[in-house]
């Protein structure tokens, strides 16, 4: 990324760590009404690594499916930020409240971030792919039907070693190259990346975050 | 030394493990219980691909319900997306023949294993790995993505049938190797796909015979990180030794090896002797690097002559069932011992012991 001429849409493990910190800070200051992204450091034994190993985590994002209102993402714990009619909530059967956890890990193979996610019902029961599929935006549902094995699949989480859903990263560098117009800034990489990737799973990045990056980019 | 040998690759393709599979008692509904099945499991294959052969033996005794097949070794659920040979090398410190596995057709442990819908899951896990390997080697996965339907089908069919020639006919179009100066593709620098499995042994293990069974995948570290080869001035790409590549992956275990080579790669006595002798043939770069390290170790010994500390040591490095000599060219290891999805799977056993610093 340092050499702009040869920017190929990828980033190094060190740049990923820098970008992760930027995402955490900007997300927090943007008052999204959602929980904060946090960096989860990981001590490998043995490490075999000189960089800061770990992953980004955003947990307990609630997805409520109201009978007539198609899709709404809200965080129930931040009621004062974005008022939620608790009277309505009482009537929502527990099986339509789905909580999602999102993790972003660095792939040394693709030299790009990879999104992992997992969902469970409010009673803690994990969601299966069919249930989760219904929570996805329409275009992702379509893509998932067309390419069952190459879009979202269940993979071993690289740090937790449990089955998690993974958005396949092949092609990330191609569209990141276009998205950043050859004006890469390692720090803002993840925000730009998440603004695209988040949409495929219904996680919206606040517009204020993205525009702050665009401003920075044009200086 | 040729960096690619068809004969060596054929040995890998033909390698198989004699497996004895019994049905888990919870799924036996008949008396007497069905006898175990003996089968040869190809090293490069995956356990779910054996299901069609073993199912008929157990079919009549299964309880009602639908199948969700998984395998277990001494209580440990086996990850189906790891090649069978790698599971064997990793979980059997001393090779067990036949390898005694238990099959379950019910009660899939979805908390620890990713779901498997039979051959399709295996096929796509394989192709996604191939794609990842292609990205590592070429910087994109276009060759794999653009594979024609007939080619894709021939690739998979050849793989499942162990037909190396058929597989090579299709896979050679992907331009993923072999690596080395004298080979057709001439990849002499770049990134090489590696999956490394690190098994950490208990404190009191001195011999492989004393190694106890793996109780949980938590005691195995997994590193999926390519080795990067930068071609340096005056250095031939294929002269990078396997040791140098291992040092890239696990730098902390190769730091002071030049001063005490026999502590790094603990094998049988005769091999230690060989390793020590081979040391004199290290390439220029290796020899230069060893000097400051030796100095540092000597200083440490002088300051703390009697201190003891617990150190982790590599006890064994195994690829395709072979204990690989650290001094052979890395490209030879990759070209000949890689799996068909172009990943080199390396099993490392590590133990800790008290060492006099």
Domains along chain A with CATH numbers: 13-218 (3.30.1460.50)
pLDDT > 70 fraction of chain B, expressed in percent and rounded: 77
- Boundaries of every domain in chain B: 15-104, 119-174, 190-354
B59 CB-contact burial (10 Å; exposed 0-12 / middle 13-18 / buried 19+): exposed
Partners of residue A158 in chain B, C-beta under 8 Å: 224
pLDDT > 90 fraction of chain A, expressed in percent and rounded: 34
In angstroms, rounded to a whole number, what is the distance separating the alpha carbons of residues A56 and A159? Answer: 11
In angstroms, rounded to a whole number, what is the distance separating the alpha carbons of residues B329 and A205? Answer: 49
In angstroms, rounded to a whole number, what is the distance separating the alpha carbons of residues A63 and A76? Answer: 9
Q: How confident is the model at residue A97 (pLDDT cuts 50, 70, 90)?
A: confident
Contact in structure between B21 and B345 (CB atoms under 8 Å):
no
A149 → closest Cβ in B124, B135, B141: B124
B114 → closest Cβ in A46, A163, A168: A163
Counting every residue, how long is chain A? 219
**Higher-scoring residue by pLDDT: B184, B304:** B184
In angstroms, rounded to a whole number, what is the distance separating the alpha carbons of residues A1 and B115? Answer: 37
pLDDT > 90 fraction of chain B, expressed in percent and rounded: 63
- Its sign, for the CA torsion B114, B118, B124, B130, is positive
Q: Indicate the Cα dihedral angle A142, A143, A146, A150, nearest 10°.
A: -150
Q: Write the pLDDT tens digit of every residue in A18-56.
A: 999 999 999 998 877 889 999 999 987 665 566 789 999
Interchain contact A109–B (C-beta under 8 A): yes
**Listed range (A37-41, A88-92, A123-127, B207-211) with the worst mean pLDDT:** A88-92
Interchain contact B315–A (C-beta under 8 A): no
Residue B41 has pLDDT above 70, yes or no: yes
Interchain contact A108–B (C-beta under 8 A): yes
Residue B118 has pLDDT above 60, yes or no: yes
Interchain contact B135–A (C-beta under 8 A): yes
Within 13 Å of residue A133, how many CA atoms lie on the same side as its CB? 14
Partners of residue B79 in chain A, C-beta under 8 Å: 156
A91 CB-contact burial (10 Å; exposed 0-12 / middle 13-18 / buried 19+): exposed
In angstroms, rounded to a whole number, what is the distance separating the alpha carbons of residues B333 and B354? Answer: 32
Provide the shortest C-alpha distance from residue B79 to chain A (in Å).
Answer: 10
Within 13 Å of residue B216, how many CA atoms lie on the same side as its CB? 6
Tell whether domain B15-104 is in CATH 3.10.20.620. Answer: yes
B135 → closest Cβ in A110, A149, A156: A110
CATH of domain B119-174: 1.10.246.190
Partners of residue B103 on adjacent β-strands: B23, B71
In angstroms, rounded to a whole number, what is the distance separating the alpha carbons of residues B200 and B253? Answer: 13
Residue B356 has pLDDT above 60, yes or no: no
The position carrying tokens 């971030």 is A113
Residue B33 has pLDDT above 90, yes or no: yes
Per-residue confidence (pLDDT) for residue B254, from 0 to 100: 80
Per-residue confidence (pLDDT) for residue B188, from 0 to 100: 59
A170 is a catalytic site residue: yes
Interchain contact A168–B (C-beta under 8 A): yes
Residue B346 has pLDDT above 90, yes or no: yes
Closest CA to B162 of B10, B320, B345: B10
Q: Write the pLDDT tens digit of every residue in B248-285.
A: 899 888 865 444 433 333 333 333 333 333 333 333 23
**Higher-scoring residue by pLDDT: B4, B205:** B4
Partners of residue B224 on adjacent β-strands: B195
Per-residue confidence (pLDDT) for residue A61, from 0 to 100: 87
B residues 9-28 closer than 8 Å to A (CB): none
The CA distances from residue B129 to A214, B119, B343, in Å, are 35, 15, 8
Q: Write the pLDDT tens digit of every residue in B63-105.
A: 999 999 999 999 999 999 999 999 999 999 999 999 999 999 9
A26 CB-contact burial (10 Å; exposed 0-12 / middle 13-18 / buried 19+): buried
In angstroms, rounded to a whole number, what is the distance separating the alpha carbons of residues B275 and A189? Answer: 47
Q: Write the pLDDT tens digit of every residue in B168-177.
A: 999 999 999 8
Q: How confident is the model at residue A214 (pLDDT cuts 50, 70, 90)?
A: low
Partners of residue A156 on adjacent β-strands: A163
Cis peptide before A40 (omega within 30 of 0): no
Torsion angles phi and psi, residue B46, rounded to 5 = -125, 145
Partners of residue A137 on adjacent β-strands: none
Q: Write the pLDDT tens digit of every residue in A102-142.
A: 999 999 999 999 999 999 988 888 888 888 888 888 888 88
Partners of residue A8 in chain B, C-beta under 8 Å: 139
Mean pLDDT of chain B: 82
Per-residue confidence (pLDDT) for residue A50, from 0 to 100: 67
In angstroms, rounded to a whole number, what is the distance separating the alpha carbons of residues B158 and B150? Answer: 12
Interchain contact A126–B (C-beta under 8 A): yes
Structure tokens at A187: 């720090």
**Higher-scoring residue by pLDDT: B342, B140:** B342
Structure tokens at A3: 């050499």
Task: Please answer yes or no on whether A109 and B132 come within 8 Å at the CB atom.
Answer: yes
Highest mean pLDDT among A66-70, B47-51, B230-234: B47-51
- DSSP letter for A46, please: S
Interchain contact B62–A (C-beta under 8 A): no
**Listed range (A120-129, A181-190, B149-158) with the worst mean pLDDT:** A181-190
* Mean local confidence (pLDDT), B212-224: 90
In angstroms, rounded to a whole number, what is the distance separating the alpha carbons of residues B38 and B98? Answer: 8
Residue B237 has pLDDT above 80, yes or no: no
Per-residue confidence (pLDDT) for residue B189, from 0 to 100: 66
Per-residue confidence (pLDDT) for residue B308, from 0 to 100: 53
Could you tell me how many helices (H) and strands (E) chain A has, helices first?
7, 7
Report the residue of chain A nearest B144, measured CA to CA: A170
Per-residue confidence (pLDDT) for residue A174, from 0 to 100: 83
Contact in structure between A35 and A99 (CB atoms under 8 Å):
no
Q: How confident is the model at residue B14 (pLDDT cuts 50, 70, 90)?
A: very high
Contact in structure between A9 and A175 (CB atoms under 8 Å):
yes
**Higher-scoring residue by pLDDT: A109, B210:** A109
Residue A67 has pLDDT above 60, yes or no: no
Partners of residue B350 in chain A, C-beta under 8 Å: 46
Interface test with B, best of A156, A165, A169 (most B CBs within 10 A): A156
* Mean local confidence (pLDDT), B189-202: 90
């Amino acid at each position: 990324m340092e050499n702009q001429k040869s920017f190929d849409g990828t980033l190094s493990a060190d740049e990923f760590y820098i970008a992760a910190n930027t995402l955490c800070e900007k997300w927090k200051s943007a008052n999204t009404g959602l929980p904060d992204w946090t960096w989860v450091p990981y001590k490998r034994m043995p490490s075999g690594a000189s960089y800061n190993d770990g992953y980004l985590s955003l947990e307990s994002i609630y997805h409520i499916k109201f009978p007539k209102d198609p899709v709404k993402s809200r965080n129930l714990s931040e009621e004062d930020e974005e008022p939620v009619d608790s009277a309505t909530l009482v009537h929502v059967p527990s099986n339509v409240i789905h909580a999602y956890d999102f993790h972003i890990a660095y792939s040394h193979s693709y030299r790009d971030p990879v999104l992992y996610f997992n969902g469970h019902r409010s009673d803690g029961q994990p969601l299966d792919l069919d249930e989760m599929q219904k929570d996805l935006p329409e275009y992702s549902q379509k893509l998932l039907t067309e390419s069952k094995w190459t879009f979202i699949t269940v993979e071993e989480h690289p740090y937790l070693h449990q089955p998690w859903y993974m958005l396949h990263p092949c092609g990330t560098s191609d569209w990141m190259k276009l998205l950043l117009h050859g004006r890469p800034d390692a720090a803002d990489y993840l925000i730009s990346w998440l603004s695209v990737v988040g949409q495929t799973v219904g996680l919206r990045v606040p517009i204020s975050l993205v525009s702050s990056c665009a401003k920075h980019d044009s200086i | 030394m040729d960096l690619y040998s068809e004969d060596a690759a054929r040995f890998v393709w033909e390698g198989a493990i004699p497996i004895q599979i019994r049905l888990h008692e919870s799924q036996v509904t008949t008396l007497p219980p069905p006898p175990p099945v003996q089968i040869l499991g190809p090293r490069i294959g995956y356990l779910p691909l054996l299901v069609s052969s073993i199912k008929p033996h157990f079919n009549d005794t299964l309880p009602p319900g639908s199948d969700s097949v998984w395998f277990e070794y001494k209580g440990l659920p086996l990850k189906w997306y790891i090649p069978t040979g790698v599971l064997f090398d990793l979980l059997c410190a001393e090779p067990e023949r036949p390898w005694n596995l238990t099959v379950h057709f019910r009660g899939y442990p979805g908390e620890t294993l990713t779901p498997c819908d039979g051959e399709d899951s295996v096929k796509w896990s394989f192709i996604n790995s191939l794609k990842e390997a292609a990205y590592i080697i070429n910087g994109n996965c276009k060759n794999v993505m653009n594979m024609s339907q007939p080619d894709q089908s021939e690739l998979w069919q050849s793989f499942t049938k162990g037909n190396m020639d058929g597989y090579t006919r299709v896979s050679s179009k992907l331009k993923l190797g072999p690596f080395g100066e004298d080979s057709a593709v001439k990849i002499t620098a770049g990134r090489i796909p590696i999956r490394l499995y690190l098994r950490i042994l208990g404190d009191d293990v001195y011999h492989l015979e004393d190694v106890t069974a793996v109780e949980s995948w938590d005691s195995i570290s997994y590193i999926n990180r390519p080795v990067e080869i930068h071609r340096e001035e005056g250095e031939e790409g294929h002269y990078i030794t396997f040791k140098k590549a291992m040092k890239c992956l696990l730098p902390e275990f190769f730091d002071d090896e030049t001063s005490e080579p026999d502590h790094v790669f603990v094998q049988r006595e005769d091999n230690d002797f060989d390793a020590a002798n081979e040391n004199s043939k290290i390439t220029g770069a290796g020899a230069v690097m060893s000097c400051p390290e030796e100095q540092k170790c000597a200083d440490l010994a002088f300051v703390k002559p009697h201190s003891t500390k617990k150190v982790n040591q590599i006890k064994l490095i195994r690829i395709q069932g072979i204990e690989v000599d650290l001094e052979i060219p890395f490209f030879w290891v990759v070209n000949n011992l890689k799996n068909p999805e172009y990943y080199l799977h390396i099993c490392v056993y590590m133990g800790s012991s008290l060492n006099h610093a």
